[in-house]
Amino acid sequence: MNGFEKRAQLLKQKIKKAVLDMLKTWEPRKIRIADIAAEAHVSQVTIYNYFGSKEALLRETIKDYIDGAVAGFEAFLNREPAPSFKEIVQYAVFHDKEAFRSFRPEIFKQLLIEDREMSDYMERITRDWAMPLFIRCIDEAKKRGEISSGVSTATLMTFFNMYMAQSSAFLDQAQQSGDPEAFVEELVYLLFYGIRGQGDGEQGI
């Protein structure tokens, strides 16, 4: 990468960071290129030259955010010693809470569900990365005796798919609950432990 390309990449990262910061308080529909330019201290022409449109900039920004989360989770799974299934659940809950602390539920709904291109992107992430990884976690947890052998991987995957299919409704409910972070934590807990809990006398995860 030559000097010009390096400067261009740094400038693009600066613009996308500004967008991420804005998404913590702004609704995507209300953000204008002029607002992004002011936040990033660049010209509107610069943004159009690099990204073409506000929609393309938002998509690239969110994709970078998701790709970073994916890389972080894979690094966590591949650490030594390998994390237990409970630690994996705790990691997932913590990062869901962090996301909801940073971004309101309507942000995810507008950017990941209502936008067709982003919706397709999330479907690919789920199919090509999340599902195979989930199967791996289940199989390894079964070998360690952390998940009942009486529940097949296929049934667990069906259960997981039911959660994914209702993601839009869950986001609406999280927003209406008054405490989105707690709502998400309870949903993830139910996904992995059910209504009876862990069965070991512990409270919470």
The CATH number linked to 177 is 1.10.357
Residue 89 lies in a domain: yes
Q: Kindly list the averaged pLDDT for each block of 10 residues, start to end, along the chain of length 205.
A: 84 95 88 96 96 94 90 90 83 73 72 82 87 86 83 82 73 78 76 62 44
Question: Residue 43 region, left (φ>0) first, then alpha (ψ -120 to 50), else beta?
Answer: beta
Residue 6 lies in a domain: no
Residue 65 lies in a domain: no
Residue 100 lies in a domain: yes
Model pTM score: 0.72
Residue 107 lies in a domain: yes
Give the residue numbers spanning the domain of 168: 83-205
Contacts of 100 (CB under 8 A, 6+ apart): 174, 180, 181, 184
Question: Domains in the chain: how many in total?
Answer: 1
Residue 41 lies in a domain: no
